[in-house]
Amino acid sequence: MKTLNCDVNAGYPLLEAVSSRLSVWCDELGNPSSVHHRGQRAKLLIEQAREEVAEFLGVPRSARVVFTSGGTEANNTAVNFAKSRYIGSGIGIITSSVEHPSILESVKHSGVPYRMLPVSESGALNREALFDALNADTILLSLMAANNETGVIFPLYDIIPEVRKRFPNITIHVDATQAAGKSAINLEKLNADLVTVSAHKLGALSGVGALIVREGFELSSYLRGGAQEHHHRAGTENVLGILSFGLAAKIWRLEGESRRRAMEGSAQIILDTVREEIPAVLLNGEGEPRIPNTLNLRFDGISGDDLVVALDIQGICVSSGAACASGKPDASHVLVAMGLAEHSAKQSIRISVGSELSEEEALLIGQKIIETVRKFSR
Amino acid sequence: MSEKVLVAMSGGVDSSVAAMILKQQGYDVVGVSMQVWDYRQNGGCGSRATCCSPDDFTDARKVAGKIGVPYYVFDFEKNFRSEVIDKFVSQYRSGLTPNPCVECNNKVKFRELRNRAADIGFDQVATGHYARVEDRGGRLGLLRGVDRAKDQSYFLYGIKQAELLKTKFPVGHLTKDEVREIAREGGLQVSDKPESQDICFVSGTVAEFLESHGGGTQRGDIVDSSGAVLGEHDGLHRFTVGQRRGIGIGGKEDPLYVIQLRPEESQVVVGTKKELEVESFLVGEVNWLVEPKFPLRCIAQLRHRHTGVPVVVNSETNGTVSVTFEGEWAPVAPGQAAVFYDLDNCEVLGGGSCLR
């Protein structure tokens, strides 16, 4: 049975160009800190990868791409920075209530007074609450560029200049994990201080990501014990991961536009197909600008978890809520923050398509969703 | 197209082997663990005495991977809480001796799970219970497991006759030792896993559980049948009818047994063995797997470890039957299940809940 991957937001399938280079790269693995030619070869390659990532993101020449073990580490590093700088008594960290747990949990455990900004029913950021919360003691504002569950995009190109006007000393962190690739982002224009990206969301290997650091920004290293990443992040570099990241970044730079068009087309076909037969279906986040590949659908009276299983048995991979180590999926905190009651949140599934999906496949997926939803009698 | 079976997998050896056997027999198998209890919210970090820990799910997942079947975790928390846990607590509060495993089987495993299975297109449900479904000449019957020491048919009396066709017990015809051996041969790492003891959702004592769930009953008097106060108790839930130990009243000629629990007065009534003896009793909410013809002579099992005694089921009114002991009597604890077996003490005819 063919697998139809509609869960790329959990991890974009490894790009073919990347997987075919893996064995070649394996021969080039060395410790980039070594003086001998093997180490230097590895060093050269990771620097080339770094350039690719920078170019893909439109990073200003002088900024630093600091490779990490992934988006989670990059996010934790940003929060850790705020923790080390905070003095005073006012709200030190401001973020939104729909961020990824790697932000929410690290903020909660930072010991710094924080505010998690509410969002509207459609997932839009409450700007009033943001400017209400900002104060002289605020060290860090951390906002995601696009939400992993609903795809809703925060208007950061507007918000950031406004924030800087009033609070020029605030550090602004953007979690661009889902936005990179699925939307055209330009970090120079974005004008953030710290930006998180994750390699496996771009079809590279997992276990690697980057924190893009503004030039001149003094970021104390989260991990100590080595001079790697210009003293920003100790630890022998994940060469294989970084090389895959570099190639994926190049591919998305060159093919991003056509890929986004393809994803948008497939997602639209699925949505239209389902809506035609099941007009009562609800789109969580409707009305807000969204990344083109994500549909968070709600079917009244139907358990999202059961729907995920029923679709999986037919080869269609989607997700609901968030995977959790305890085994049982929780209601999405994002949907709950948008005002959904827990039981309604649990009636939602997330469909996130890649650009490799064909139109026929998208149509088939839509039809299978309809069939399966209809079979749920209760 | 192979027949589809959903197997409830706990991560233990019985359900693991059940899944493996069905897969080997060519069924289209999907393994499911039922999460009935949230470990994060309810404490109990990985103690093996309870069930549904992340470790148990990992074991189930590994077994599913080894035998080559898909594996999912289904959320049954809400259902389990209202049908099993809440009932457990309220029954203790009412002075009954509850049987949560029966409730779980009836309401959760063989109803809610069956519904979910149907939703995903699976008609049959299987478990690792030691029991058998067999052809009894024109109809299906529910039988004790071959391994009498492990037989769990007592907890399964609530299955409807029509559902037997859609229920499988792949290990019911095996002994526990045989099951462990099969697991070992199959390379399933759970072959030597210790069995989960007691009630799956209680990690400490029942008393502790009840106290932390608002069901802790208050102190009261221990009285004899004339009402004379003999001592004090610290919670009705610590006693069950027929209990001899733990009453804490000494110095009497004849040993004392709990003969009744009075929740309204918070009293434990004790008496001699003679006073405990009853001739007949009532059983409510009876489910029949075999259409009864009254008066029905059969064997009644009144608790899990009870071999069963001959009785006559006299008549039925609105799902309640009156039962008379034929010779030997046994203590009847209200709330416990009374399961009626045929005279060979093998096939389950029906069962219900003992009334006061």
Give the separation between CA B118 and CA A378, rounded to whole angstroms: 11
Of B30, B35, B118, the CB nearest to A327: B35
CA distance A330 to A189: 37
Chain A hits for B77, CB-CB cut-off 8 Å, are: 328
What pLDDT band is residue B1 in, cutting at 50, 70 and 90?
low
By the CB < 8 Å criterion, does A313 face chain B? yes
Phi, psi of B231 (to 5 degrees): 180, -165
Evaluate the CA torsion angle A34, A35, A38, A42 in order and state its sign. Answer: positive
Exposure on the CB side of residue B195, measured as CA atoms within 13 A: 11
- Alpha helices (runs of H) in A10-88, residue ranges in sequence order: 16-27, 37-57, 71-85
Q: Hey, is the C-beta of A37 within 8 angstroms of any chain B C-beta?
A: no
Q: How many CA atoms lie within 13 A of A103 on its CB side?
A: 29
Sign of the four-CA dihedral B42, B44, B46, B49: negative
A109, with CB counted inside 10 A (0-12, 13-18, 19+), is exposed
Say yes or no for a CB contact (<8 Å) between A313 and B30.
Answer: yes
Give the bridge partners for B6, in sequence order: B30, B125
Residue A339 has pLDDT above 50, yes or no: yes
Query: What's the pTM value of the predicted model, to 2 decimals?
Result: 0.85
**Contacting A residues, span 191-250, partner chain B, CB-CB under 8 Å:** none
CB A202 within 8 A of CB A209: no
Between residues A142 and A377, the one the model is more confident about: A142
Give me the residue from A310, A312, A328 closest to B38, CB to CB.
Answer: A328
Candidates B54, B77, B120; nearest CB to A306: B120
Closest CA to B331 of B253, B268, B278: B278
State how far the Cα of A145 lies from the Cα of A153, in Å rounded to an integer.
Answer: 6
- pLDDT band at B51; cut points 50, 70, 90: low
Instruction: Report pLDDT for A322.
Output: 59
Q: Pick B38 or A115 by higher pLDDT.
A: A115
Confidence of residue A10 (pLDDT cuts 50, 70, 90): very high
Residue A47 has pLDDT above 50, yes or no: yes
B74·A310 Cβ contact <8 A: no
pLDDT at B2: 79
Residue B287, exposed/middle/buried by CB under 10 A (0-12, 13-18, 19+)? middle
A165-205 tens-digit pLDDT: 999 999 999 999 999 999 999 999 999 999 999 999 999 99
Check whether B49 has a pLDDT greater than 70.
no
Is B279:B233 a contact under the CB 8 Å cutoff?
Answer: no
Q: SS3 string of B181-209?
A: HHHHHCCCCCCCCCCCCCCCCCCCCHHHH
Number of A–B residue contacts, CB under 8 Å? 42
Contacts of A298 (CB under 8 A, 6+ apart): A281, A282, A283, A284, A340, A344, A347, A348
The whole-angstrom separation of Cα A148 and Cα A139 is 25
The reply to whether residue A326 touches residue B39, judged by beta carbons under 8 angstroms, is yes
Measured over all CA atoms, what is the biggest interatomic distance in chain A, rounded to whole angstroms?
A: 68
E strand or H helix at B54, and its extent? helix B54-67
Question: Tell me: the pLDDT tens digits for A122-167?
Answer: 999 999 999 999 999 999 999 999 999 999 999 999 999 999 999 9
Q: Could you tell me how far CA A234 lies from the centroid of its own chain? A: 24
The band of B217, judged by pLDDT with boundaries at 50, 70 and 90, is low
Q: Which residue out of B51, B52, B200, B298 is catalytically annotated? A: B200
* Confidence category of residue A325, pLDDT binned at 50, 70, 90: very low
CB within 8 Å: B72 and A325: no
Distance CA B9, CA B19 (A): 8
Helices (H) and strands (E) in chain A, counts: 13, 12
Do B325 and B280 contact (CB within 8 A), yes or no? Answer: yes
| pLDDT range class, residue B327, cuts 50, 70, 90 | confident
User: Chain B interface, mutation test: which of A311, A313, A328, A332, most B Cβ atoms within 10 Å?
Assistant: A328
pLDDT for the residue B250: 72
- At residue B140's C-alpha, the angle toward residues B67 and B112, to 5°, is 60
In the predicted structure, residue A324 carries a pLDDT above the cut 60 = no
pLDDT confidence of residue A146: 98
> What does the DSSP 8-state code read for residue A322?
B
Taking CA atoms, B342 is separated from B140, B295, B322, in Å, by: 14, 13, 17
* pLDDT for residue B192 is more than 90: no
Best of A308, A316, A326, A377 to disrupt the B interface (most B CBs within 10 Å) is A326
B7 has a pLDDT exceeding 60: yes
Distance CA B356, CA B283 (A): 9
A168 lies within 8 A of chain B by CB: no
Q: Measured between CA atoms, how close is B74 to chain A, in angstroms?
A: 7
A292-316 pLDDT, tens digit each: 999 999 999 898 988 999 999 999 9
**pLDDT band at residue B207 under the 50/70/90 scheme:** confident
Of the segments A281-295, A324-338, B107-121, which one has the largest average pLDDT value?
A: A281-295
Q: Nearest Cβ partner of B120 from A310, A326, A378?
A: A310
Q: Are B220 and B267 spatial neighbours (Cβ–Cβ below 8 Å)?
A: yes
A262 φ/ψ angles, rounded to the nearest 5 degrees: -65, -45
Q: Which residue is catalytic, options B51, B52, B101, B104?
A: B104
Q: What percent of chain A has pLDDT over 70?
A: 97
Share of chain B above pLDDT 70, in %: 94
Nearest residue to B33 via CA among B4, B67, B56: B56
Percentage helix, strand, coil for chain A under 3-state DSSP, each rounded to 5: 45, 15, 40
How many beta carbons lie within 10 A of that of residue A327, not counting itself?
A: 22
Residues of B with CB under 8 A from a CB of A: 30, 33, 35, 38-40, 54, 57, 70, 72-75, 77, 115-116, 118-121
User: What pLDDT does residue B216 have?
Assistant: 63
A305, A325, A377: residue with CB nearest B54: A325
- How close does chain B come to A343, measured CA to CA in Å? 11
H or E element at residue B258:
strand B257-262
Residue B104 is among the residues annotated as catalytic for this protein: yes
| DSSP label of A329 | P
For tokens 């991560």, the residue is B11
- Return the residue in B38, B39, B73 with the most chain A beta carbons within 10 A, the one to mutate for interface testing: B73
Whether residues B54 and A326 touch (CB distance < 8 A) is answered with: yes
User: What's the mean pLDDT in B199-209?
Assistant: 80
Token pair for A353: 């398509």
- The answer on pLDDT for A56 being more than 70 is yes
Q: How confident is the model at residue A327 (pLDDT cuts 50, 70, 90)?
A: low
Of A115-124, A318-327, B188-197, the least confident:
A318-327
- The predicted structure's pLDDT at residue A329: 63
CB-CB under 8 Å, B119 with A327: no
pLDDT digits (tens, 9 = 90+) for A219-245: 877 788 888 888 888 899 999 999 999
Provide φ and ψ at B59, rounded to 5°: -60, -45
Q: Do B75 and A305 touch (CB under 8 A)?
A: yes
Q: What integer pLDDT is reported at residue B47 of this predicted model?
A: 45
Strand, helix or coil at B13?
Answer: helix
Is A60 within 8 Å of A90 (Cβ atoms)? no
Cβ-based contacts of B115 with chain A (< 8 Å): 378
User: Do A310 and B70 make contact, defined as CB atoms within 8 angstroms?
Assistant: no
Q: Using N-to-C axis directions, what is the helix angle for A304-313 and A359-375, rounded to 10°?
A: 120
Backbone angles phi and psi of A78, in degrees to 5: -60, -45
Chain B residue with minimum CA distance to A325: B54
Best mutation target, B120, B122, B123, to test chain A (most A CBs within 10 A): B120
Q: Are A213 and A118 in contact (CB under 8 A)?
A: no
Q: Which residues contact B142 (CB under 8 A, 6 or more apart)?
A: B131, B132, B133, B153, B156, B157, B159, B164, B289, B347, B348
Interchain contact, A327 vs B33, CB within 8 Å: yes
**What is the ipTM, given to two decimal places?**
0.79
How much is the mean pLDDT over chain A?
A: 93
